Amino acid sequence: METPVRTKVKELLKKEPGIDVLAKGWVRTKRGNKGIAFIALNDGSTINNIQIVVDKNAFAEDLLSKITTGACIGVIGTLVESVGSGQAVEIQAKRIEIYGECDPMKFPLQKKDTSFEYLRTVAHMRMRTNTFGAVLRIRNQMAFAIHEYFHGKGFVYLNTPLITASDCEGAGQMFQVTTLDLNNVPKNKKGQVDFSGDFFGKQTSLTVSGQLEGELGATALGEIYTFGPTFRAENSNTPRHLAEFWMIEPEMAFYDIKDNMDLAEDFIKYLVKCALERCYEDVKFLNDKYDDSLIDRLYGVIDTEFVRLPYTEGIKILEEAVKNGTTFEYPVAWGVDLQSEHERYLVEKHFQKPVILTDYPKDIKAFYMKQNEDGKTVRAMDVLFPKIGEIIGGSEREASLEKLEQRIDELEMSRKNLEWYIDTRRFGSCPHSGFGLGFERLLLFVTGMTNIRDVIPFPRTPKNAEY
Ligand code: 4AD
Ligand code: MG
């Protein structure tokens, strides 16, 4: 018998019956009766399994006993029309090869515990489940769609450094990078750590954002975007925070805050549409299994115009809600940073659609944002989403050299460390804007998953850095 070339399950399921095929994959289930066995085989190419029908009399007992859940096998057989498998075709097995056995007693993926909490403890294996297969295929399609979107608009993909000496957000949440001997840290006369002998000759960290370098790119190439990992040492143990997450940061010369909002809205809608068009089977699986309003929510975002609302108006709505009996854990007043409960009230209760909140108090936002004429607010924009809260943070940037330097001084930041950044305002300064989309926050939205640890293969959170 000639060996057919291996075909992925996704392709097999689309083929016409009547040909010999070779399928390879992992056994999801095996059931049957005395004479016949039905194997559900999956190879990760699709949420769907291909059914293998085995005439037990034609195979050795020993071989059949090794076909257990989790085992890896190759099957040569004839593709035939299927009556009962839920798919158009199935494979009538002629030859089976066991590549890797799987002891059912020791296999970490058991039917008895499939909770997300448990699966996080065996994250090295959870990609073999239907749910994580679906989530990671969607993640892959979204990453591709992001590049496609910006490429189509002529944006330049810019690689900004992961190791940096500057704190973009000024929030002091940086992981330090050093090769100093931590058991014998060199100190200067003042008793402070002497970084001059460190690898880079100065104090460095993992980046919290590629924006500052992105601005250098935008003020040279016009429109750029970054797409890479960012790191935050914030000790927030929430379902929406990771210590290592991926961010997409477009930065555009000659865009004002309105252009910035238009781009953000169009970008998210494009991605959600792609999820529905290119990952429908996976999205449908997640919808049917966990959250049957997921697909409606996705269509809801595509079909609706986002609300655009100044922060001050948002606070009024929240204060009104409190007056009318709504209780929040954190108090609401002009000047406070909004908590996710506040953001979700505006999005889910009040407007029932995505909201772009603008013109935040300058004291709760980063130094680089363009100051408004009122002297109190900055041209910031946060995109707030149902079930998620903040999915995008961005702003028009301060283009005035004088105002930027003043703000850096007010915040007692080091101007010396930022000279290279300030140069963009010294030499041919231009109006420009940008934003950052949290990739995993986007994935929470399009998959309907409720914990950010479940939309990234290897989550890093406080006290957790497995693998
Ligand atoms: O609002 P952030 O902090 O904005 C910036 O970093 C800007 N420099 C972006 C820019 O204008 N270029 O972060 C942007 C987005 C948030 O809206 C959120 O979606 C995501 O990044 N994010 C996180 N995602 C997961 N875990 C965390 N700890 C996150 N912190 C922020
Ligand atoms: Mg933010």
Residue type at 122 in one-letter notation: V
Contact criterion met (CB below 8 Å) for 67 and 98: yes
Give residue 410's Cα distance to chain centre: 35
Could you tell me if the CB of 213 is within 6 A of ligand 1?
Answer: no
Could you tell me if the CB of 459 is within 6 A of ligand 1?
Answer: no
Could you tell me if the CB of 391 is within 6 A of ligand 1?
Answer: yes
> How big is the chain, counted in residues?
467
Give residue-wise pLDDT tens across range 312-326: 999 999 999 999 999
**What is the distance between the alpha carbons of residues 356 and 353, in angstroms, rounded to a whole number?**
10
Question: Which atom, in ligand 1's list, is nearest to the CA of 391?
Answer: 19
Backbone angles phi, psi at 91, to 5 degrees: -110, 125
The predicted pLDDT at position 454 comes to 98
Counting ligands in written order, the one closest to the CA of 452 is: 1
Q: How much distance in Å is there from the Cα of 246 to the middle of ligand 1? A: 9
Rounded-to-10 torsion of CA 202, 218, 425, 206: -20
- The verdict on pTM exceeding 0.85 is yes
Could you tell me if the CB of 384 is within 6 A of ligand 1?
Answer: no
Backbone angles phi, psi at 312, to 5 degrees: -55, -40
Question: Which atom, in ligand 1's list, is nearest to the CA of 392?
Answer: 17
Counting ligands in written order, the one closest to the CA of 338 is: 2
Ligand 1, pocket-test mutation among 216, 230, 245, most atoms within 8 A of CB: 245
Please, which residues have CB within 8 angstroms of residue 444's CB and are 6 or more apart in sequence?
240, 387, 388, 450, 452, 455
**What is the distance between the alpha carbons of residues 390 and 342, in angstroms, rounded to a whole number?**
11
Could you tell me if the CB of 217 is within 6 A of ligand 1?
Answer: no
Rounded-to-10 torsion of CA 75, 80, 82, 88: 90
**What is the distance between the alpha carbons of residues 390 and 344, in angstroms, rounded to a whole number?**
9
Q: How much distance in Å is there from the Cα of 143 to the middle of ligand 2? A: 21
Q: How much distance in Å is there from the Cα of 366 to the middle of ligand 2? A: 9
Ligand 1, pocket-test mutation among 209, 343, 397, most atoms within 8 A of CB: 209
Counting ligands in written order, the one closest to the CA of 207 is: 1
Run of H or E including 431:
none
Could you tell me if the CB of 211 is within 6 A of ligand 1?
Answer: yes
Ligand 1, pocket-test mutation among 209, 246, 247, most atoms within 8 A of CB: 247
Contact criterion met (CB below 8 Å) for 29 and 39: yes
Could you tell me if the CB of 198 is within 6 A of ligand 1?
Answer: no
Question: Which atom, in ligand 1's list, is nearest to the CA of 383?
Answer: 17
**What is the distance between the alpha carbons of residues 277 and 302, in angstroms, rounded to a whole number?**
12
| Residue 447 DSSP SS3 | helix
Per-residue pLDDT tens listing for the chain (467 residues): 678 999 999 999 999 999 999 999 999 999 999 999 999 999 999 999 999 999 999 999 999 999 999 999 999 999 999 988 789 999 999 999 999 999 999 999 987 778 999 999 999 999 999 999 999 999 999 999 999 999 999 999 999 999 999 988 888 799 999 999 999 999 999 999 999 999 999 999 999 999 999 999 999 999 999 999 999 998 888 999 999 999 999 999 999 999 999 999 999 999 999 999 999 999 999 999 999 999 999 999 999 999 999 999 999 999 999 999 999 999 999 999 999 999 999 999 999 999 999 999 999 999 999 999 999 999 999 999 999 999 999 999 999 999 999 999 999 999 999 999 999 999 999 999 999 999 999 999 999 999 999 999 999 999 999 99
What are the tokens at 144?
């591709």
**What is the distance between the alpha carbons of residues 85 and 40, in angstroms, rounded to a whole number?**
9
State how far the alpha carbon of 194 is from the alpha carbons of 163, 164, 190, in Å. 19, 17, 10
User: Beta strands 89-100 and 72-81: pairing type?
Assistant: antiparallel
Could you tell me if the CB of 248 is within 6 A of ligand 1?
Answer: no
Could you tell me if the CB of 444 is within 6 A of ligand 1?
Answer: no
Q: How much distance in Å is there from the Cα of 259 to the middle of ligand 2? A: 19
Counting ligands in written order, the one closest to the CA of 232 is: 1
Give residue-wise pLDDT tens across range 100-147: 999 999 999 987 778 999 999 999 999 999 999 999 999 999 999 999
CB atoms within 10 A of CB 115: 8
Question: Which atom, in ligand 1's list, is nearest to the CA of 395?
Answer: 11
Contact criterion met (CB below 8 Å) for 47 and 134: yes
Could you tell me if the CB of 285 is within 6 A of ligand 1?
Answer: no
Could you tell me if the CB of 314 is within 6 A of ligand 1?
Answer: no
Listed in sequence order, the DSSP H helices in 158-210 are: none
Helices and strands: H and E segment counts in the chain = 13, 16
**What is the distance between the alpha carbons of residues 64 and 81, in angstroms, rounded to a whole number?**
23
